[in-house]
Amino acid sequence: MKYEYWFAGIRNIPDRTKIKLKEKAGTAEAIYYIEETALRKMQLLKEQEIWKLLEAKKKEELDRNYGAMRQKGISVIPWGEKEYPGRLKEIYDPPYALYVKGKLPDNTARAAAIVGARSCTPYGEKYALEYGKKLAECGIQVISGLARGVDGIGQRGALLGGGKTFAVLGSGVDVCYPKNHMGLYLDILEQEGGILSELPPGTPPLPQHFPRRNRIISALSDIVLVMEARERSGSLITADLALEQGKDVYALPGSLDSPLSAGCNQLIQQGAGILLNPENLLEEWGIETNVLCRNTETKNEKNKKVLDKRTAI
């Protein structure tokens, strides 16, 4: 897998080109050892891209860097591996590889993205937490970006609901951003969720990384829930990407006087589903809400046993 790590980390070669090159060469190891003449005969790379690839092959620190990544508990999942998320394969511009700390989302289980404003209001906080918790209690995976505001609160709600949540970062998976979310970062891993990124370990959280990471958040989800968003925001970019990917988008309605609800109200005007309450959403999704979700049943049984023991004492 070290050759996949090497190939995934080469900058300035588009992911789609990397995928085509791997499909033609067979493996990343074959690409590593391919001669320049054979590489040119494939006619897949531009001159500058050939130069970048050949330059990368001259680096002697491959073994050291790959070993350091593995010591941090980070895996690389490239295109073509059975672990590569099936949902990502379906989009127009999938990442060549994902770096993963923890686990990947279960491709056979339902997943919902919860996204919204970083500077959300108490109204947005309340419903991000409520939806995250209720969805998790019903076994639905929550996908988001670990950001301040709605993202982090929705993921905290998923953890409170006893479920799994997965954070897609605009940095390397070993770079927690924002730094004050390190507690949430660690709790996600402890509760068998995952930290994901298409960017190599050590990559800083630069502004240009975040719009592209949004396509991964929407791709890994069946539906996207927008809690609060301004008229121009990253959350609306995620919603647009979700629609392009054929996903359903829902938005939380808000006051006409609130700038943080302007984006959501605009989405609803354009045809997005309206978030009235978690039970309504679950029913639309075909999940019976008149029967307790499995996670909730288990928790109630445990709580009852604890209370019974205390009563006996």
pLDDT tens track for 222-256: 999 999 998 888 889 999 999 999 999 999 999 99
pLDDT value for 242: 93
Question: Across residues 169-185, what is the average pLDDT?
Answer: 96
pLDDT value for 203: 95
Q: Where are the beta strands (DSSP E) in 133-272?
A: 141-144, 165-168, 194-197, 223-226, 248-251
Q: Considering the chain, what percentage of its residues have pLDDT values greater than 70?
A: 91
Burial 259-280 (b: 16+ CB within 10 A, else e): ebbbbbbbbbeeebbebeebee
Question: Across residues 275-290, what is the average pLDDT?
Answer: 86
Question: 22 versus 11: which is more confidently predicted?
Answer: 22
Residue with tokens 């947005």: 124
CB proximity list for 241: less than 8 A, separation 6 or greater? 214, 215, 218, 219
pLDDT at 157 over 70: yes
Q: List pLDDT tens digits, range 40-63.
A: 989 899 999 998 898 888 766 788
Dist CA 255 CA 262 (whole Å)? 8
Which of 4-8, 10-14, 126-130 bottoms out in mean pLDDT, i.e. has the lowest? 10-14
pLDDT value for 287: 85
Banded model confidence at residue 257, pLDDT cuts 50, 70, 90: confident
174, 73 in Cβ contact below 8 A? no
Three-state SS annotation for 119-147: CCCHHHHHHHHHHHHHHHHCCCEEEECCC
Question: Across residues 206-224, what is the average pLDDT?
Answer: 94
Q: List pLDDT tens digits, range 105-139.
A: 999 999 999 999 998 999 999 999 999 999 999 99
Question: Across residues 74-78, what is the average pLDDT?
Answer: 96
Computed over every residue of the chain, the mean pLDDT equals 89
215, 91 in Cβ contact below 8 A? yes
CB half-sphere exposure, 175, CA atoms < 13 A: 16
pLDDT at 309 over 80: no
pLDDT value for 11: 85
pLDDT at 282 over 70: yes
Banded model confidence at residue 169, pLDDT cuts 50, 70, 90: very high
Biggest distance spanned by C-alpha atoms of the chain: 80
Q: Which amino acid, residue 276?
A: L
